[in-house]
């Protein structure tokens, strides 16, 4: 049996467990009861919300919120307290640089050669001049970062998002983004490269550090939402959709002319070049 199956990357194991849990949840899910047809406003709101699994989603939200309260938020607070801001930014840059292969793959699948060129130059510049990605030199040189994942790729291909999902561990999602998450793990070279205890430990370290880094960066905003929102679940559902729609809209509107990736770029009014 190949070594990759003897010592798989921890992220792939986590995704497998999450996928199984998600499928079981969907198969056993309690569905929200549609409003009566004689109430058109309620029917329109039900369709706009597009959350037929809301009872089950709220259960998973409660579970995730408990895990966040007990584990992830305290870890993020400790990380912010112990690690200086400049160091945290460098760690975030390194993690972002490690995700470049997946980002580049999606840029190409989305048919965005200019974005692919930006990603290529970001990796080359930040991995060398930026000291293995610690410093985002590429941004200063006219190659800004952008969002790219397989969920966005599917959206660019015309795949609908489907109903809202709140998945164990992953949080807010939808069927399209859940599939995209799994495909991005498969695309990640670190899923397949190496074996042994050291590689496994590095994989777990990357996963844990990515989770804490992501949580620390939204520490204040999430605290504010939980304190002020009448229904935090509904607020997170709305914000997630707004954020994803904005990312996909930016992708679709990025029709910059293609130039060689080594050609100096001058940022335009939006910061994305001419």
Answer whether residue 100 shows pLDDT above 70. Answer: yes
Question: Which of 69-78, 136-145, 196-205 shows the lowest per-residue confidence on average (mean pLDDT)?
Answer: 196-205
Task: Decide if 169 contacts 66 (C-beta within 8 A).
Answer: no
Backbone phi, psi, residue 256, to 5°: -65, 145
pLDDT tens digits for range 226-263: 999 999 999 999 999 999 999 999 999 998 877 655 56
pLDDT tens digits for range 178-226: 999 999 999 999 888 777 787 788 888 898 999 999 999 999 999 999 9
Q: What is d(CA 179, CA 186) in angstroms, rounded to the nearest whole number?
A: 11
Return the pLDDT at 97.
96
Q: What is d(CA 245, CA 64) in angstroms, rounded to the nearest whole number?
A: 24
Which residues in 99-124 are b (16+ Cβ under 10 Å) and which e?
bbebbbbbbebbebebbbbbbbbbbb
Return the pLDDT at 197.
80
DSSP 8-state code for residue 165: E
Task: Decide if 263 contacts 180 (C-beta within 8 A).
Answer: no
- Per-domain residue ranges for the chain? 13-30+51-253
Answer whether residue 167 shows pLDDT above 80. Answer: yes
- Mean pLDDT of the region 25-32: 52
Q: What is d(CA 113, CA 117) in angstroms, rounded to the nearest whole number?
A: 6
Integer-rounded Cα Rg, in Å, for the chain is 20
Return the pLDDT at 199.
77
Residue with tokens 């692919």: 116
Residue with tokens 């009448």: 230
CA nearest 212: which of 78, 97, 104? 78
Count of other CB atoms within 10 angstroms of residue 161:
19
Return the pLDDT at 49.
81
Answer whether residue 76 shows pLDDT above 60. Answer: yes
Answer whether residue 5 shows pLDDT above 60. Answer: no
- Mean pLDDT of the region 142-151: 95
Return the pLDDT at 34.
62
Q: What angle do CA 226, 80, 170 make, to 5 degrees?
A: 50
Q: Which two tokens stand for residue 34?
A: 């549609």
CA nearest 15: which of 117, 168, 221? 168
pLDDT tens digits for range 9-18: 444 444 444 4
Task: Decide if 130 contacts 138 (C-beta within 8 A).
Answer: yes
Return the pLDDT at 85.
96
């Amino acid at each position: 049996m190949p070594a990759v199956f003897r010592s798989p990357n921890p992220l792939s194991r986590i995704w497998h467990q999450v996928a199984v849990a998600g499928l079981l949840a969907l198969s056993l899910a309690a569905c929200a009861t549609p409003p009566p047809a004689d109430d058109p406003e309620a029917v329109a709101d039900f369709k706009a919300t597009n959350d037929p699994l809301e009872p089950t989603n709220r259960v998973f939200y409660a579970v995730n919120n408990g895990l966040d309260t007990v584990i992830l938020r305290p870890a993020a607070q400790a990380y912010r307290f112990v690690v200086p801001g400049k160091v945290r930014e460098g760690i975030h840059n390194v993690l972002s640089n490690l995700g470049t292969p997946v980002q580049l793959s999606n840029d190409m699948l989305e048919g965005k050669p200019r974005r692919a060129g930006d990603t290529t130059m970001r990796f080359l510049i930040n991995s060398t001049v930026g000291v293995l990605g610690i410093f985002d030199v590429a941004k200063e040189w006219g190659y800004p970062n952008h969002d790219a994942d397989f969920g966005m790729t599917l959206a660019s291909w015309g795949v609908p998002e489907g109903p809202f999902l709140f998945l164990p561990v992953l949080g807010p999602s939808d069927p399209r983004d859940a599939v995209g998450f799994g495909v991005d793990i498969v695309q990640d070279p670190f899923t397949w490269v190496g074996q042994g205890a050291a590689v496994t430990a590095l994989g777990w370290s990357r996963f844990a550090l990515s989770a804490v880094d992501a949580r620390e960066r939204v520490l204040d905003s999430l605290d504010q939402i939980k304190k002020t929102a009448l229904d935090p679940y509904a607020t997170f559902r709305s914000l997630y959709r707004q954020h994803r729609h904005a990312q996909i809209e930016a992708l679709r509107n990025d029709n910059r002319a293609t130039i060689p990736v080594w050609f100096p770029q001058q940022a335009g009014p939006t910061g994305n070049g001419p």
